[in-house]
Amino acid sequence: MTKKPLEGIKVLDLTRVLAGPYCTMVLANLGAEIIKVERPGSGDDARAFGPFVNGESIYFVSINRGKKSIAVDLKSEEGKKLLLDLIKEVDVVTENYRPGTMEKLGLGYDVLKEVNPKIIYAAMSGFGHSGPYSQRAAYDMIVQGMGGIMSITGQPGGEPTRVGTSVGDITAGLFGAIGILSALYGRNLTGKGQKVDVAMLDGQLAILENAIARYTSTQEVPGPLGGRHPSITPFETFKTKDTWAILAAGNNALWAKFCKAVGREELIDDARFANNGDRTKNHDILKPILDEIFVQKTTAEWMELLNKVGVPASPINTVEDLFKDPQVEARHMLVEVEQPKVGKIKVAGNPIKLSTIPAEQEVPMDPAPSIGQHTEEILKSLLGMDEDGVKKLMDTKVIE
């Protein structure tokens, strides 16, 4: 078994639902040991989110595989003491409570760093641990709306449209993982830990890229453009004979290749379309011309023709299509895992490909845990607790 880069790093994971668990899933894929701290009885809220197979949440399974679960009542004094003892034995603690919650429990960063000066404390929240919105509640769609991404998504003149995946949570999880890795590297240099503060709203602004550049330079407010790129043309979706296709001619050379491939060389020398700026300026003239071209062939025919000459083009795949795509299969981006009570299911693979890690080791193959499945194991192995000590805590409902 090849050693992964984060093997030996222990993460005490107090997060739930998506942003935090997605972050710790990334760390687990890279070899970290994730000790998931859950509420006795109900556990992570995501356990109640569908779809379900034989009563098991596949949503929960998909982002919590390979983690260990301990169930601790953090509102009890014994539970808090237990957490502080565990803090001494781990490298990272993650949480995605509303700011101030950990402080109310007596478990904020200022307390934890006294217990373990090397601890990396990573907090993911809707609006961060500073600023006037800090105490507001947030979900993915809240920050998609506030962060501007919904204002540039959808069809022109249409209703505000949520991005089809939870980009508010997921970007926070990714930035959280990057922050943790940076802090771990910093600890190697200084010997000290630090706090990582990641806000979902900040993440949405960070990925607006072109929209911020356009507003900064023109003072015009960007809006939704459907399947079109705001500053590259042609770079959008087109109706074909049977479905839809994407053409992405990102420079003059690709534009010329496309024109030759479709037998419309006269468009290359047309002054209205001479360069990208001209094509974008005259998009309303060019689009109907291209619409007439694309509707003459099926999507499959366009893919064969355009990919053959090196013009970037693609179909618009459904999720079902991905399960049959040879590139997805070649990159091991849908991985079969086995889950108790469920059987074999496919989950997303690890997009971080490291040359030292074989494909079959890129994601943990251990299943997602049941609530408190590893409580006894963790308390004995990390804290040296004996059978009587564990039983006493279970009898008093401090742990499960």
Distance from C-alpha of 144 to C-alpha of 245, rounded to nearest angstrom: 27
Which residues are paired to 72 by β-bridges?
A: 399
Q: Are strands 92-95 and 120-125 parallel, antiparallel or unpaired?
A: parallel
Residue 352 CA, distance from chain mean position: 12
Distance from C-alpha of 373 to C-alpha of 367, rounded to nearest angstrom: 11
Sign of the Cα pseudo-torsion (289, 295, 297, 298, in order): positive
Distance from C-alpha of 378 to C-alpha of 393, rounded to nearest angstrom: 13
Q: Which is the catalytic residue, given 129, 229, 332, 374?
A: 229
Judge contact between 115 and 88, C-beta under 8 A.
yes
Distance from C-alpha of 24 to C-alpha of 173, rounded to nearest angstrom: 8
Distance from C-alpha of 62 to C-alpha of 65, rounded to nearest angstrom: 6
Q: HSE of 296 in the Cβ direction (CA atoms, 13 Å)?
A: 8
Distance from C-alpha of 240 to C-alpha of 44, rounded to nearest angstrom: 45
Q: HSE of 174 in the Cβ direction (CA atoms, 13 Å)?
A: 14
Specify whether 129 is catalytic.
no
Q: Which long-range contacts (CB under 8 A, 24 or more apart) does 246-255 make?
A: 246/313, 246/314, 246/315, 246/316, 247/290, 247/294, 247/306, 247/311, 247/312, 247/313, 248/312, 248/313, 248/314, 249/311, 249/312, 250/312, 251/276, 252/276, 254/310, 254/311, 254/312, 255/279
The residues carrying an active-site annotation are 229
